[in-house]
Amino acid sequence: MNERSIIGTALAALADSVRPLRKAAEFSGDAGCIAEARQLAVRFLQQLEAEWFAVLGDRTTGDLLLVVSELVTNAERHSHGPYLLELEGTDRQVLVTVYDSSSTLPHRYDQDPGRLGGHGLEIVHALADRLGAERVPVGKRVQAVFDLERRRVST
């Protein structure tokens, strides 16, 4: 093995070690799917803390789990088929992404404490640092971003 191949191997290993942690699961919408999605998120966050030394804290963990619940609930309620939950993170940020088969983008209603229902996106918008939605070939993608660095500074 020459010096160039040793350096190339070392760089490839380094690149592998800095890839974000990723977990994903498809859910059918059957009873218990929202709880399963939350359990996946709990395991993901535990692994993120252990492997990336991410500093989450109880508040950020609670916010992330509530966002997972809301996005998965919306996908279950408004799509016509299975949906996919993807979690990706490092010590700096966590992305919560849900894909579903409906091409209708979510609508955020004006605040109205008297309205029954329709508060999911309002909650996600309040908890996440950024929120985006776009149409994709299979339907839509809704993504909430949590900036862990900003949260460490603000606490």
Q: What pTM did the predictor assign?
A: 0.85
Give the pLDDT confidence of 106-154 residue by residue, as tens digits: 887 777 778 777 778 889 999 999 999 999 998 999 999 999 998 887 6
3-state helix, strand, coil in the chain (%, to 5): 45, 25, 30
Give the pLDDT confidence of 82-113 residue by residue, as tens digits: 999 999 999 999 999 999 999 999 887 777 77
Task: Name residues whose C-beta falls within 8 Å of residue 82's C-beta, 6 or more positions apart in sequence.
Answer: 26, 27, 28, 29, 101
